Structure 1
Amino acid sequence: MCGIVGLFLKNEALQPQLGRHLSRMLTTMSARGPDSAGIAVYGGGSDDLIKLTLRASTGDADRDLGARLRTALRAPIEVLRRANHLVVTIPRACRASALAWLREHQPDLDLVGTGSHMEIYKEVGLPEQVADKFAVPAMHGTHGIGHTRMATESAVTTAGAHPFSTGEDQCLVHNGSLSNHNSVRRNLHREGIVFETENDSEVAAGYLTWRMREGDSLKQALTSSLDTLDGFFTFVVGTRDGFAVLRDPIACKPAVLAESDDYVAFGSEYRALSVLPGIEKARVFEPEPATVYVWERR
């Protein structure tokens, strides 16, 4: 099962409403995945800064983390606390030292994602509960993707929740199953890609990160995945500049796209799109199998 959504705003006037629309879209997909949910939101940021989205594995996040990091790194640090997640904004030059300090002094904090423009929030529970927990409806942004999971192949844990992020400002949500993810994982390990879980979707994210690190565009990386990743899948991928959609050659998983002058939206089912303003004026269509659809800002 699982339900995935994506929303790319063309109209800047809608950016203050991104979180509200994305949350409503994902909530309609609850029946497809009641176990856990997650959302990646892209918005304002600076290329000189990096956001580290961290999750406390037990209890609430440390309220004194910002002060301790500022002292350790001797650099300006900003910390945004949302329930058990922290978004720590640091100078780009401090990225390696900050991650090393966190590994040594805060092993209870899991790294959910990094990027200048991306924040990821995910947790066990229904989409509406997860969105409310992190105040997602109030978030501003340019685009975002979301996932609600039915854990058919592994335990119900936050670590197994989507989106998965293996590269800066890159994340992926997935509906389906990969049959050769273990062999692909071994190959990617040799290329320096690090995985935090055994989830096959994280392997797909890692593959795209590796291909783009090697020079592929997002479209080229996704096209290459059709030859490398075996199984049935629908991917929605977020990057700093936009998002992309790809279905496998058989396309057995449901998928619907809508495009208007204001936005591009994706949903596992049309009901996820039906909550959007002006949907009756949008062009609604089913994405073709083995075809990459990309919308990006340049």
Structure 2
Amino acid sequence: MCGIVGLFLKKDDLRPRLGDLLTDMLITMTDRGPDSAGIAIYGDDAGGQKMTIQSATPDEDFNGLEETLTELLRAPVRMRVIDTHAVLTLPEGSEAEVRAFMAEKGIRVMGVGNSMEVFKEVGLPRDVAARFGVRQMAGSHGIGHTRMATESAVTTLGAHPFSTDSDQCLVHNGSLSNHNRMRRVLARKGFAPQSENDTEVAACYISSRLAEGANLGEALEGTLQDLDGFFTFVVGTKNGFGVVRDPIACKPAVMAETDDYVAFGSEYRAFANLPGIENARVWEPEPATVYFWER
């Protein structure tokens, strides 16, 4: 099962409503996967590098963390705590040092980038969105996922979206059959997945292709050649939003486009509350066909 949603705003008028619209879309997909949920929001540039982190014991792990990192990096660090997550704003060039610090402390890194923030937890979409205040979040685009676990445990780390590169993340409905072989290939390229989830393999694959100089459309086309199984991928980058389905396309998917936005949903009902949906061009994305939009 699983449910995917995505919303890419072409104009800035709807930016203040992005989180609210995405939350409604994701809640509508609850019965497709009620065990965990997550959303990635692309908001304003932080004026530095954002790092979203997560802890099972935030009261303990986040206490004094801002001051500790400021001392460690010898530069100002800002921290905004949101439930079990926190968004750090770091000086450019400090990611590797901060990642090593987080690994030593057992704090998980959910994603990094200049505009992207990632929030995911075990629980119903309604509850996860409320915990993180997603309705109040503004931005240019975002993707979300509600999960029914089939190939790995119900954990925060196993929830979607998966982010494996700066300002890049992916959600997935389906299952990959060659993900273990691809893990070895990607590890040799320096993009080793950190979880058992096959979706992270797909995210790492996209990251590796982008690192090789491909654009988002070319990276998505590569999944049709190199990844086996049945899948629908929705990918976000700092400036882009893309969709691709496998050649069989057995997983449901629908898209809607107006002059104001492009939307993706696993089912049409995800679009019910979108403004102007009655005037949208609505279609089912074709199998083995890449759709992407960039600013």
> Shorter-normalised TM-score: what interval?
over 0.9
Structure 1 pair 263/228, CA: closer, same or farther in 2 (3 Å)? same
The alignment partner of 2:169 has SS state of strand
- Counterpart contact for 2:38–2:159, Cα < 8 Å: yes
Amino acid at match of 1:196: Q
Q: How does 1:189-200 map to 2 (within 5 A)?
A: 189-200=187-198
**Whole-angstrom CA distance in 2 between matches of 1:260 and 1:63:** 45
**Whole-angstrom CA distance in 2 between matches of 1:178 and 1:168:** 24
Matched, 1:66 2:66: yes
**Whole-angstrom CA distance in 2 between matches of 1:59 and 1:95:** 21
**Alignment RMSD, CA only?**
1.1
Q: CA deviation at 1:73?
A: 1.2
Matched, 1:157 2:159: no
**Whole-angstrom CA distance in 1 between matches of 2:154 and 2:103:** 25
Q: Which residue of 2 aligns with 1:220?
A: 218
Identity level (%)? 60
Q: 2:125 aligns with which of 127, 140, 149?
A: 127
- Counterpart contact for 1:166–1:194, Cα < 8 Å: no
Q: CA deviation at 1:18?
A: 0.3
The alignment partner of 2:94 has SS state of helix
Q: Which residue of 2 aligns with 1:6?
A: 6
Normalised to the residue count of structure 2, the TM-score between the two structures is 0.97
Normalised to the residue count of structure 1, the TM-score between the two structures is 0.96
Amino acid at match of 1:162: H
Q: 1:118 aligns with which of 109, 116, 119?
A: 116
- Counterpart contact for 2:102–2:108, Cα < 8 Å: no
Amino acid at match of 1:52: M
Matched, 1:267 2:265: yes
Q: CA deviation at 1:59?
A: 4.7
**Structure 2: which 5+ runs fail to align?**
none
Q: How does 1:73-222 map to 2 (within 5 A)?
A: 73-104=73-104, 106-107=105-106, 109-222=107-220
User: Number of matched residues?
Assistant: 294
1:45-72: CA deviations, max 9, x gaps?
A: 15x6111110003354513111111112
The alignment partner of 1:121 has SS state of strand
- Counterpart contact for 2:66–2:79, Cα < 8 Å: yes
Q: CA deviation at 1:154?
A: 2.0
- Counterpart contact for 1:242–1:296, Cα < 8 Å: yes
**Structure 1: which 5+ runs fail to align?**
none
**Whole-angstrom CA distance in 2 between matches of 1:236 and 1:246:** 7
Q: Which residue of 1 aligns with 2:41?
A: 41
**Whole-angstrom CA distance in 2 between matches of 1:206 and 1:18:** 26
The alignment partner of 1:92 has SS state of coil
**Whole-angstrom CA distance in 2 between matches of 1:63 and 1:279:** 45
**Whole-angstrom CA distance in 2 between matches of 1:63 and 1:20:** 30
- Counterpart contact for 2:216–2:240, Cα < 8 Å: no
**Whole-angstrom CA distance in 2 between matches of 1:154 and 1:221:** 25
- Counterpart contact for 2:102–2:109, Cα < 8 Å: no
**Whole-angstrom CA distance in 1 between matches of 2:53 and 2:247:** 36
Q: CA deviation at 1:184?
A: 0.5
- Counterpart contact for 2:122–2:159, Cα < 8 Å: yes
The alignment partner of 2:93 has SS state of helix
**Whole-angstrom CA distance in 1 between matches of 2:37 and 2:148:** 9
Query: After alignment, is 236-245 or 92-101 more displaced?
Result: 92-101
